[in-house]
A = this chain, B = another copy of it.
């Protein structure tokens, strides 16, 4: 049986994060010692590894919840897993496209700025006047 700290080290997770996963029902409530400390079995280690791995691949926790449910019922068709993964792939591809457009625009801004004072700065100029942009970048964020 593993303490929460050992489980954390083995999975590369912070202790608080494990407790957070328990709180939101992603991890089961583990057994406790007489004194109230959590003790984990290998099944829980596997489950947390699964969660962490899916997180590394960018799956949101809700999707992970579904994937865990599928993984727990091995006779079910894996069609749904495919759907979830494909959805995630599309999301990742959208983000890449968007970030590549941002990269182009940022590079251009930086390249055009010859380094005088702020009044003539192309970086600030482009920010002031959207019409100086070559690309449309309507959506917010990265």
Question: Which residues does A use to contact B, with CB under 8 Å?
Answer: 12, 46, 49-50, 53-58, 67, 70-71, 73-79, 81-82, 84-86, 88-89, 91-93, 95-96, 99-100, 102-103, 105-107, 109-110, 113, 115-121, 123-124, 126-128, 130, 133, 137-142
The smallest beta-carbon distance between A106 and chain B, in angstroms, is 4
Q: Which residues of B contact A46 (CB under 8 A)?
A: 128
Choose from B73, B79, B142 the contact partner of A92 (Cβ within 8 Å): B142
Q: Which residues of B contact A56 (CB under 8 A)?
A: 137-140
Cα of A80 to Cα of B89 in the assembled complex, Å: 37
Interface of A is mostly: helix
Q: Which residues of B contact A127 (CB under 8 A)?
A: 50, 53-54, 57, 67, 71
Residue of B nearest to A78 (CB): B121
